[in-house]
Amino acid sequence: MPRPIQSLVVLAIAGALISPALAAKKEERFVLSSVSEPTSRTENTAAIAAPVGAHKPTDKKDSVFDIGLEALRWMGASSRQVGVPYPDLWCADFVNFILRRTGHPTMNSRAAKSFLDYGKRIDSPRVGAIVVLTRGKNGGHIGIVRGTDGAGNIIVISGNHGNRVAESPYPKNRVLGYVIPNDTN
């Protein structure tokens, strides 16, 4: 057999023997990465990509901060991704979703202003607290407090913000009230 053909045969055989090993490594890497849990805000797309109901609701947390952390996990998600069948006016649905995932009672209401009667009122913004805001003449908006800016305006994570879960600053004069679940500190 001429030398070039012999070389090609050897390469073909070597390639056939090595291919399954390489394919197994790719498969193994895929399986490992698909099982891992998101550990930071930059990995929130893994949480969003999971089907609704794939994550079991966590045990009830005693800290309001845990509510804020759960809201952060869903940044960028659409209404469908958080299991809300309604494509419009779903800010209260998102807050109910976060409360359910953190093991707290919900309002089971789609009205933002109904949350003024939820849990216990607090006087100032607190990370993870629920904030009820005015919107327009008679409307309302609701979200989870992320923090404040230098001027005292609040930074809120909310659903129905450009049809996504998003973070945005709101003027402090739009605040109707802050509430936290009764069973938190």
**Which class for 84: exposed (0-12), middle (13-18), buried (19 or more C-beta within 10 A)?**
buried
Given this structure, which CATH class describes domain 41-180?
A: alpha beta
Residue 115 confidence class, pLDDT cut points 50, 70, 90: very high
Cα gap 169→150, rounded to integer Å? 11
In whole angstroms, give the CA distance from residue 87 to residue 115.
21
Integer Cα distance of 175 and 160 in angstroms: 18
> Rounded CA gap, 184 and 36, in Å?
29
**CB count in 10 Å sphere of residue 103:** 15
Amino acid at 18: I
User: Could you give the CA distance from residue 130 to residue 105 in angstroms, rounded to a whole number?
Assistant: 13
> Under 8 Å CB-to-CB from 165, ≥6 apart: which residues?
71, 74, 75, 76, 77, 78, 82, 94, 157, 158, 159
**What residue segments make up the domains of the chain, in order of their start?**
1-35, 41-180
pLDDT band at 18 (very low <50, low <70, confident <90, very high): low
* Beta-sheet strand order (sheet of 154-158): 120-122, 175-180, 130-135, 139-148, 154-158, 166-170
Report residue 82's pLDDT band, with 50, 70 and 90 as the boundaries: confident
The residues that bridge with 120 in the sheet, in sequence order, are: 180
Contact 121, 184 (CB under 8 A): no
Of 81 and 162, the one with more pLDDT: 81
Does position 180 have pLDDT exceeding 50, yes or no?
Answer: yes
Tens digit of each residue's pLDDT (9 = 90 or more) over 133-171: 998 888 899 999 999 998 889 999 999 887 899 999 999
Give the residue, 134 or 37, on which the prediction is more confident: 134
pLDDT of res. 43: 36
What pLDDT does 167 receive?
Answer: 95
Q: What pLDDT, on a 0 to 100 scale, did the predictor assign at position 15?
A: 60
90 within 8 A of 175, measured Cβ to Cβ: no
Q: CA–CA separation, 38 vs 44, rounded Å?
A: 6
Average pLDDT over the chain, rounded to an integer:
77
